């Protein structure tokens, strides 16, 4: 009960999307990316739902990894940013975590504080992302240093695309060529593909692929790619109409009076706003689904509420559900109206109660809020 804003998570859709990523991976394995609380879908719930099929999970940091271990997740867990301080090595050892190595200070820490148990290292090359990773011409030397350590059981060769979500990206092809050239002759499994790479760059699909957004039923591309009908949105963000009023032509709505009715208009107020993570900069006309109809957002999004034009919809009542994004209204489409990306909308979700469904039945409703 209480405020009607809700995020409903379909765990069956998540499992369906995982199977799609596994099919795309062929003989490779899928490392399911559940960082940032599984893009606000709930890392523990999502990992638990995939525990019988997923070969591993990827998180940003050790705090996220320990949450999964505490929930009983036994699969390999990869720290995508590696460790930040040598003191984390004891926990990596204790909880049997995989770790990315992207900088010399991390190798130096392993040399100074060798682990009691062998660890799998994911050695990252900066092949053109310009972020973290060893430069191509220093990559082999880093690999040799790690091979000399008794606590390193094997090394996965990895990199990360900068532009895989751009159609026919020359930069992505250059990155792949660089990675292949500078790892030629090195043994070990390979990992390059994120969601966009997995879909668009068949030659880059490796022994391990690391889909994130695709698992949650969202396209990583701004243009149609042809696979959208095969994946299923995992999250539906909804709320309800809490007020309906008729206003005359010339009346303005919302902060700043940035929208003015050109004719008599029926206005509906929905109990959700930017404090919940709905984008404040969504423009007038951003679609919202009510009773199967798309209606336009009008006026500026407030902290706790937004307003829509109900004039063309018959028989709308207080309490009717408003779908902000979900099956018939993709979060990617909404992101376009806010000049942002679906990643940000999902990850910014805040203070919204979450309900999990499996086999079309609500399996858990938390008293917690999704936090940013």
Are the C-beta atoms of 243 and 304 separated by less than 8 Å? no
The H or E element that residue 331 is part of is helix 331-337
What does the pLDDT read at residue 364? 52
303 is in an annotated binding site: yes
Rounded Cα gap, residues 18 and 51, in angstroms: 11
Same domain, 184 and 273: no
163: containing domain: 11-217
Q: Is residue 295 part of a domain?
A: yes
- Name the active-site residue from 18, 35, 124, 274: 35
Written as tens digits, the pLDDT of the chain (372 aa) is: 689 999 999 999 999 999 999 999 999 999 999 999 999 999 999 999 999 999 999 999 999 999 999 999 999 999 999 999 999 999 999 999 999 999 999 999 999 988 999 999 999 999 999 999 999 999 999 999 999 999 999 999 999 999 988 867 899 999 999 999 999 999 999 999 999 999 989 999 999 999 999 999 999 988 777 777 899 999 999 999 999 999 999 999 999 999 999 999 999 999 999 999 999 999 999 999 999 999 999 999 999 999 999 999 989 999 999 999 999 999 999 999 999 999 999 999 999 999 999 886 666 544 343 333
Active site residue 105: no
Same domain, 133 and 169: yes
Same domain, 166 and 241: no
What does the pLDDT read at residue 360? 66
Residue 15 belongs to domain with CATH number: 3.20.20.10
The H or E element that residue 78 is part of is strand 77-79
Rounded Cα gap, residues 330 and 344, in angstroms: 14
What does the pLDDT read at residue 363? 62
Rounded Cα gap, residues 310 and 295, in angstroms: 7
Q: Which residue has the tokens 């919940």?
A: 276
Rounded Cα gap, residues 21 and 59, in angstroms: 18
Active site residue 255: yes
The H or E element that residue 106 is part of is helix 104-112
Q: What is the pTM of this model?
A: 0.93
Same domain, 286 and 315: yes
- Name the active-site residue from 105, 202, 230, 255: 255
Q: CA nearest 221: which of 245, 197, 247?
A: 197
* Total tally of structural domains belonging to the chain: 2
Are the C-beta atoms of 303 and 273 separated by less than 8 Å? yes
Same domain, 199 and 50: yes
């Amino acid at each position: 009960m209480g405020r009607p804003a809700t995020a409903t998570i379909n765990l069956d859709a998540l499992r369906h999307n995982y199977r799609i990523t596994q099919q795309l991976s062929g003989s490779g394995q899928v490392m399911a990316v559940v960082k940032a609380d599984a893009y606000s879908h709930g890392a523990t719930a999502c990992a638990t739902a995939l525990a019988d099929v997923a070969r591993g999970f990827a998180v940003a940091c050790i705090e996220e990894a320990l949450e999964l271990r505490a929930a009983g997740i036994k699969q390999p867990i990869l720290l995508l940013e590696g460790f930040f301080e040598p003191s984390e090595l004891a926990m990596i050892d204790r909880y049997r975590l995989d770790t990315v190595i992207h900088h010399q200070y991390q190798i130096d820490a392993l040399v100074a504080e060798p682990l009691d148990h062998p660890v799998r290292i994911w050695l990252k090359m900066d092949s053109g992302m310009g972020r973290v990773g060893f430069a191509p011409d220093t990559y082999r030397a880093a690999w040799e240093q790690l091979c000399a350590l008794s606590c390193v059981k094997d090394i996965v060769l990895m990199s990360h695309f900068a532009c895989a979500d751009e159609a026919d990206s020359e930069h992505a092809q250059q990155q792949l060529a660089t990675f292949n050239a500078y790892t030629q002759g090195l043994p070990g499994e390979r990992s390059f593909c994120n969601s966009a790479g997995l879909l668009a760059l068949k030659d880059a699909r490796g022994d391990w692929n690391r889909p994130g957004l695709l698992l949650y039923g969202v396209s990583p591309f701004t243009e149609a790619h042809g696979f959208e009908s095969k994946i299923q949105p995992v999250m539906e963000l909804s709320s309800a109409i809490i007020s309906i009023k008729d206003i005359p032509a010339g009346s303005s709505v919302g902060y700043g009076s940035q929208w003015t009715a050109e004719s008599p208009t029926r206005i509906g107020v929905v109990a959700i706003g930017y404090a919940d993570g709905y984008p404040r900069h969504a423009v007038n006309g951003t679609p919202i689904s009510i009773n199967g109809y798309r209606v336009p957002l009008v006026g500026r999004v407030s902290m706790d509420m937004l307003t829509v034009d109900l004039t063309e919809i018959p028989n709308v009542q207080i309490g009717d559900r408003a779908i902000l994004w979900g099956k018939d209204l993709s979060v990617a489409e909404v992101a376009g109206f806010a000049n942002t990306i679906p990643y940000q909308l999902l990850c910014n979700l805040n203070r919204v109660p979450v309900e999990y469904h499996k086999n079309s039945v609500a399996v858990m409703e938390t008293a917690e809020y999704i936090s940013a």
